[in-house]
Structure 1
């Protein structure tokens, strides 16, 4: 027994080399010595000290402590669902107090959806807000608009949002000249007035029209699209040197005027063939303050000595259908085709000469500029894990007319979402990312409020804004659901509309209804962003993924938009008295999308959606291979760049699927790469001043795919310019693939 004690007390210093080689400890080594010693009982012996009360208490204490440590560690790191539960505390967050360290309520997606439905009031509240907002016009710079901004500010404060504030901008807007209104006349050869054609509503005008007087012949050009001008040329009619008259629809007022200017027209008259009244619309081909392009209109901004290239150089004026019929009835020339005539219009000529050859049409525009203070109203909910990343939700507040569809419904839904989300937070919902609710000013002048805010924070927003959701003009009917968005949102949109009832059929969700409409439903469901929307500015100018939702009619658009007839009564009538129900469905789609965008561990945006988009564009380019080869050019490197992008998205997907998504730093690392995909498509090779919409796929300028295709379609091409355009597009795409693939040292391995 003494020999055994000596073994455990280190009395035998000789160690077993086999034990050392195997990495065994001293106790195992002692056991080996015992077995090799013939003088000792071969059965292992253990000292009675191990069973003394002191040793027993020590062993029990160590075991209990280890068990408690295990339980505490498990509780501290436990998460129920990688894609749903995002309500724990960030252990690395600075300034966390004792309350923040408490385990929050566990909530998965079904819990959140149920809670959202619980706190979202029925559509009657939205309807009530729309009624209140649309009692009369509330254009930018008016007292009515200022009062509405104060009302929204007070509402945000009453919801107990984390932060509520107002940001002011100063912009030079254009308004009618009350002392000398715009005029339209028929003149004789000696410039005497033959007939004065009244512009029935002196408030009707086109903001940012060029001012001045034009006397010329008149040409009818259907909707004023590029193809309409081309068709006109094929019929032997030249619009150059004439006034042109076009009808509303298909493209914006600004695009109609731009196309007319390119065709050499001297001025534009715009009318609606479905309404007796004239339609309002700005004609700046862009968004934001055209007097400070790419610069914010803050209080102390020193205005640059140049203006937006999107400002027209020719005058434009909206007219009523009656005035249009009067003018069209005076035209001679080739007969207008039946496809170009309005529903109730008789046959007439295309111009440019009038039936009385010596007569001309005179248009005089006298609009005047005025400096206006614009106020954007903000409310925010601070995110729990990624507070520095924002989901921005915005709606236009101002309206030239009552604006039921234009701004009323969007503003009402914005307020309802802010209230609902705040109540959810008060009852356990803890969004990962911050949410900003914004009421934009000067939307009627080209999303000035939204764009000026973007310009003011451009250097940081591509790092901060994860997504933008627009609530502008969300209800134009109830027959078809449309999402205008970045391709990144495709999976999110399809997922959400499977969970919301279609307002026309309560037993069928929106997804099922759209799928039953026709075989081309997916192409109709998600369409490109409109050029004159705030969402377009976020996407094409700032590189922020953007989307907007709306319900529309299958064939006819809501005809009262941008008129003084855009009242609650007319909108509700178009919706068969169901404005509350349709608005509620739209609020559910927007609210559930917002919940998912602010809640999921990994942002529900799919970079691989661009794989197919890029392929479709390359197919268009491939049609010009013969022309390119004849000039010694090839698309090989462009195909390679697209392949690099595809491999980068596949690599990112694989990395996410194989990673531990309980690691907060890793989650944020992936999210930053996803949220910047659109920013990667902004060309780094052109100036934001000259080409503010730098996005190579939806932007405007020589760097875009559209410019490259249009160049290839010309009979004569500039080979040097063609090489430059291919290089600009290719290297921007390569840069997007490189950025998406990870860190610099990972790029080579990826490709």
Structure 2
């Protein structure tokens, strides 16, 4: 294992490099030696390459910083403008700036790494860049056209030292409460006033996705317990694989979502009642249908659990039907009311965007705080779409319509 790990943790593993190609060949060879079926696929994905000049550059107050990292899905070109600090670059962070009457338009936004993926920070599309939101199709080359799913925003990663040098000279307003705590020493956090750049932050493993992701750094971050952690992870993955191939039914408990939905609906109900009592939202906005949808899902999930317990698990066709209904829960919790191209993370409970239950709660909080971004008509729309999505999921979970007998 140590020898194999050493091969994979080569210092030369930059995407698209000769070193990465050597690593992929070693993995391919190892899979073949283990008796696994191996094959090669080619994907024609148009992304940025490492700059031919060696590095990208960032200039701030006349000082140039050479940055070896780059973002393959970034737009290309040179930009110049005032720098604006926006915490982690989440929707709520931009909303906080909006409430402060601070606009990011025409500015270079500086954000930390963490909280959300790099993809969401600059809205990098999911799936094939030429079919954003959808997977690639075999044996098809797409024409070299500009993808509507990829941003034209140039983006650049920077080192912590570069971020410290930039933020140390930034002026402007004080950031919202909580934004000033970070890993940059002797730096007073400000929203910004002048010049050029993009990102910083810390995470559980800050080297992931960087050239510093080496065996040595991994050993340090795991307190020299790497082998123990790898063994544990392997055992967990093995148990998961064994359950997937051995068990007749998928080990996905659809009733767990009932608890999540119930907790969030209860929180929504509490906020709505409070806002209606203070006349901030109209009393015509009723919780009845959302609570009805929650109840429908709870009853349908309980019925499916009872069906599982009373079914003959040696009947392969019956197991297939039940598994289809279990997997249908995940499918039906993907909001059908937003485009996968514009909102790749469509899950209303686990995704991100205005279609999620979390966004509905955030909107209620914005109304409570008197935020300028609050919109009653948008809130009504969010209520309706959330209700319909949960109710549709409950209907599909219950099974064929002629078998329901009005039980949902």
Specify the TM-score bucket, using the shorter chain as the normaliser: 0.7 to 0.9
- Counterpart of 1:566 in 2: which secondary structure? coil
Distance verdict in 2 for CA 1:561–1:682, change over 3 Å? closer
Partner of 2:56: 182
Take 2:336 and 2:390, find their aligned partners in 1: how far apart are those partners? 11
Partner of 1:717: 375
Report 1:183-222 matches (<5 A).
183-186=57-60, 195-199=62-66, 201=67, 203-222=68-87
Residues 1:247 and 2:112 aligned together: yes
Partner of 1:146: 21
Report 1:599-748 matches (<5 A).
599-622=246-269, 623-625=271-273, 626=276, 630=282, 632-712=284-364, 713-714=366-367, 716-719=374-377, 721-748=378-405
Partner of 2:127: 288
Take 1:692 and 1:186, find their aligned partners in 2: how far apart are those partners? 34
Residues 1:323 and 2:162 aligned together: yes
Partner of 1:129: 4
Partner of 1:332: 171
What do you get for the CA RMSD once the two structures are aligned? 3.4
By percentage of residues, which structure has more strand? 1
Partner of 1:5: none
Partner of 1:169: 43
Q: How far 1:642 moved relative to its partner?
A: 1.3
Decide whether the 8 Å contact of 2:70 with 2:157 is kept in 1. yes
Distance verdict in 2 for CA 1:324–1:740, change over 3 Å? closer
Take 1:743 and 1:349, find their aligned partners in 2: how far apart are those partners? 58
Q: How far 1:197 moved relative to its partner?
A: 1.4
Partner of 1:584: 231
Decide whether the 8 Å contact of 1:284 with 1:290 is kept in 2. no
After superposition, the C-alpha distances for 1:148-198 in whole angstroms (9 at most, x for unaligned) are: 33333333333334x4333322111112321485332346xxxxxxx2413
Decide whether the 8 Å contact of 2:219 with 2:225 is kept in 1. yes
Partner of 1:491: none
Distance verdict in 2 for CA 1:332–1:577, change over 3 Å? closer
Distance verdict in 2 for CA 1:601–1:576, change over 3 Å? same
Take 1:704 and 1:228, find their aligned partners in 2: how far apart are those partners? 17
Q: How far 1:303 moved relative to its partner?
A: 4.4
After superposition, the C-alpha distances for 1:50-100 in whole angstroms (9 at most, x for unaligned) are: xxxxxxxxxxxxxxxxxxxxxxxxxxxxxxxxxxxxxxxxxxxxxxxxxxx
Q: Which has the larger radius of gyration?
A: 1
Worse-matched range after superposition: 287-296 or 674-683? 287-296
Q: How far 1:134 moved relative to its partner?
A: 1.4
Decide whether the 8 Å contact of 1:696 with 1:705 is kept in 2. yes
Distance verdict in 2 for CA 1:155–1:196, change over 3 Å? same
Partner of 1:422: none
Decide whether the 8 Å contact of 2:249 with 2:323 is kept in 1. yes
Report 1:109-128 matches (<5 A).
125=1, 127-128=2-3
Structure 2: stretches of 5+ with no match in the other structure: none
Report 1:409-558 matches (<5 A).
557-558=204-205
Distance verdict in 2 for CA 1:134–1:736, change over 3 Å? same
Take 1:134 and 1:700, find their aligned partners in 2: how far apart are those partners? 33
Decide whether the 8 Å contact of 1:681 with 1:695 is kept in 2. yes
After superposition, the C-alpha distances for 1:653-696 in whole angstroms (9 at most, x for unaligned) are: 21222233333322222222223321122234444444443322
- Counterpart of 1:128 in 2: which secondary structure? helix
Q: How far 1:211 moved relative to its partner?
A: 2.8
Q: How far 1:613 moved relative to its partner?
A: 0.8
